[in-house]
Amino acid sequence: MEGRALLNTYLQGSASVGSEYSYYAFICWFDQVEYTEEGGALYLRAVDEDGDMYWPPLVKEGVSAEDALKRIPDATIYFANEDFVNETYGKYQLHCERKWAEYIYDAKDFIALEGKRYHAKRNHIKKFLKLYNSTIEQIKPEDKQAVLEFERKWLEDKDFDEKAKESALREMEIVDMWYDQAIKGNLIADIVRVDGEIVGMSIGEIMPSGNAVVMYEKGNIQFEGVYSYLANTFAKRNFSGCKYINRQEDMGLEGLRKSKLSYNPAFLNNRYVMTPLQCAKSPNKCCALTGYKVKRLTVEDYDTAMTFFESGREALEDKKHFLNYTEEELKSVLEKGFMLGVFEGDKLLSTCAVDTDKEYGKKLAEICHAEKPINHYEFSGIMTAPEGQRKGISNALCREVIEYAKENLSPCVLCAVVQYDNMRSINNLQKLGFEERGRAEYNEYDFRYLCKNV
């Protein structure tokens, strides 16, 4: 609570429209977040075993973003908006994806729904009100079980892949917390009922900046117009005094993108990842690898590498999460491919490789439904010893191997083969820009094929 209160003092009176500084809408999704205040700046970071994720520092009047960043010169900054990027331009490599952009709406327009462009929305709302005996009201303490049951039924009706299902299950836990905070008055939550049955619910908050964030909106689509009615009426009841309403990102989902665009956003709040140029140009100099020895492994290192992989796999709770090389495969990668290792003294801590076997690459291209001829190479051998984890070593090493592929193998596609339920590896690969393009079974394995164009 002390951290949240401190965060709010920095946001008070600001023009912030993003959700990234909202504890409830964003920060609570991370398992561990740390903060510190120094020199008129507030720093936040999510602690992850593959490297820390820093928020853009918040600063008090008289302190510049550049001044604040001098205290974390090697940190990669996530969730940066265009204003922050412009303040620090020229010192960072920038990466931005459309699916990260948040949809920001003019609150008055969203509530009024005036003009031709909102004609369809007004009709949906009229139809809902005409067809159903509905009520909308703020949630009450006695609604909790009904709310959780509504969320459970909504989840059951969805045909999710494993990643989306994991996210939805995590959301169920967070909805429980949001409900309790709404009862305490820290959040705003409304329920729509038809003949007493819950058919929709929204949860949001008004940030210290005075702008609103909607972090949860669910409706039973069996009731026509429920989403249009819920979105508009929730805003009308709670956000009439706000300038902007942030309805968050579309996650790259086509249907969700179409829906969010149909409300005519005032603008999109693009969010960037900012990597210090010295780290982007020379991964070996990145703070995550400072003090370690990074070397290319050769056939002479076969025994060291094979022992490392065997002991690493043995320590895994689920052995399917690392399919070890055969003797022939490992020798081939060490001799013809490219494998890097991170050492602390003589101890091997982490590995990552590109297997340049072109025959195997043809199989990967076929599984991944390649539309045109392009070399596919396996991105493999990603293993980190327990004492090397939570230091960003694996992430930095993977980036260096990707950089090697750019310089020596481009154009090509790197393909990582991952057991379908190895969510940790899948999430880490997605952070590196990999996306799923194929799936295939092999003996007791069910593999996902995640690819990155280089």
Do 271 and 20 contact (CB within 8 A), yes or no? yes
CB contact at 8 A, 166 and 217:
no
Tell me, yes or no, whether 154 and 263 share the same domain: yes
- Give the pLDDT score at 317: 83
Measured distance CA(312)–CA(385) in Å, rounded: 7
The answer to whether residue 252 scores a pLDDT higher than 90 is no
Asked if the structure places residue 61 within a domain, the reply is yes
C-alpha to C-alpha distance for 196 and 343, rounded to whole angstroms = 64
Tell me the pTM. 0.66
CATH number of residue 388's parent domain: 3.40.630.30
**Same domain flag for 335 and 415:** yes
Residue 285's pLDDT band (boundaries 50, 70, 90)? very low
Is the domain of 141 the same as that of 79? no
Judgement on whether residues 302 and 443 belong to the same structural domain of the protein: yes
Q: Are residues 60 and 152 in the same domain?
A: no
Compute the average pLDDT of residues 184-199. 96
Residue 280 predicted with pLDDT over 60: no
Q: What is the pLDDT of residue 283?
A: 47
Q: Which span out of 50-54, 82-86, 291-295, 398-402 was modeled with the highest average pLDDT?
A: 398-402
The token pair at 340 is: 């890097």
Cα–Cα distance list, 224 to 80, 124, 228 (Å)? 38, 7, 9
What pLDDT is attached to residue 265? 94
Task: Note whether residue 382 is domain-resident.
Answer: yes
Do 337 and 430 lie in a common domain? Answer: yes
Residue 158 lies in a domain: yes
Taking residues 293-314, what's their average pLDDT? Answer: 93
Residue 292 and residue 380 in one domain: yes
- Asked if the structure places residue 272 within a domain, the reply is no
Tens digits of residue pLDDT in 147-161:
988 988 888 777 766
For residues 263 and 286, state if they share a domain. no
Q: What is the pLDDT of residue 93?
A: 84
pLDDT of 369 > 70? The answer is: yes
Please give the residue range of the domain that contains residue 440. 282-453
Inside any domain, residue 407: yes
Residue 163 has pLDDT above 70, yes or no: no
**pLDDT surpassing 70 at residue 192:** yes
- 167 has a pLDDT exceeding 80: no
Residue 254 forms part of a structural domain = yes
pLDDT at position 275: 87
Rounded-to-integer distance, Cα 47 and Cα 52, Å: 5
In a domain, 293, yes or no: yes
Residues 139 and 249 both lie in one domain: yes
Same domain (yes/no): 231, 297: no
Residue 227, token pair as written in the block: 């989403």
Whole-number percent of the chain with pLDDT over 90:
65
Q: Are residues 60 and 182 in the same domain?
A: no
Tally of domains within the chain: 3
Domain limit, last residue, from 267, 290, 324: 267
Q: Is residue 276 part of a domain?
A: no
- Res. 340: pLDDT tops 80: yes
Same structural domain, 287 and 257: no
Look at residue 14 in the predicted model and tell me its pLDDT: 87
Dihedral over alpha carbons 240, 246, 247, 249 (to 10 degrees): 170
